[in-house]
Chain A
Amino acid sequence: MRLILAATALSLTFAGVAFAQQPVPPGEQPVEPYVQSNANAGATPMRDKAVLEAFHGKEGIARITSDLVDRNIADPRIKDIFATADVVRLKRTLSEQFCYILAGPASDGGCDYTGKDMSATHQYQGITPRDFNILVENLQKAMDKEGVPFAAQNKLLAKLAPMSRQVIERR
């Protein structure tokens, strides 16, 4: 497995020559180059002003995603999966992703998602349906803490739920 990963990484590095190396944001680990695109977010934007307001805008989204990551890395049920994760990068990309889904791209006043796509990101993590649901629970708690009304929470969850197909590996 390690060999295959190393080989994949190597070939990705070569492929990466095709596009410019992205600068590594402060506090983050460098990652193998990949093609950045809002399509990697795995869902189309909602463009519902009321829902965005219910999340308290970009600041509220950033608080929720940061809290979600903190909960996940402290949750005895799933923290092992996050053991080697780049927490700084995870908070940034997750916040971009939720912002893109709730507010649209940066050109519309929202955010562009610069992370990897959901299949590539979660490959080889062996995530189960139970792990997925635990993360959703933690997200509900983070949204509760931010004071997001239940109906608005469900609108975001409706966008995330189908990603289970890419995220869950062990069915």
Chain B
Amino acid sequence: MSIFEYNGSALVAMVGKNCFAIASDRRLGVQLQTIATDFQRISKIHDRLFLGLSGLATDAQTLYQRLVFRHKLYQLREERDMKPETFANLVSAILYEKRFGPYFCQPVIAGLGDEDKPFICTMDSIGAKELAKDFVVAGTASESLYGACESMFKEDMEPEELFETVSQALLSSVDRDCLSGWGGHVYVVTPTEVKERILKGRMD
């Protein structure tokens, strides 16, 4: 079994009208065994920037700690939050540092940039960035997620419709993947508020 599939994960980020949604599954497993059904894959870097880390959970935790450290230092020096584009470059650089002994993670970055323009991107485990205007996916359920998002996505969705779309795409994709699932965690971020919701899906 691949090291990327050791813990199991599913992540998706989608762009709407002046907002974005980022969602993940909640399963933490060790190959075939489920350890926990409340694992947090998405973390807040600041009010307008969220990071999701799929792949090996230990590397996701280490990488998250390193990135929070770097962002806090940036905040102290620059006296402001990092822009999403800048943060994506930072993640990419940190991943490539370990080119010949990488972190086994695939990050998904979603944020609101200048003028509240939503920004999403993903990258592979050595930092190759993939910017997208509509949606990005990562994790063991990524192939199903590509299909589900491609068919359900529409341009310029309002936050409520975006939440429905992301939730349906996530739940239907993780249902076809035995290593991810056990519910969902969805963040819908607009310039004024962050709405966090927990989805109840098939608990298997």
- A is bound by B: no
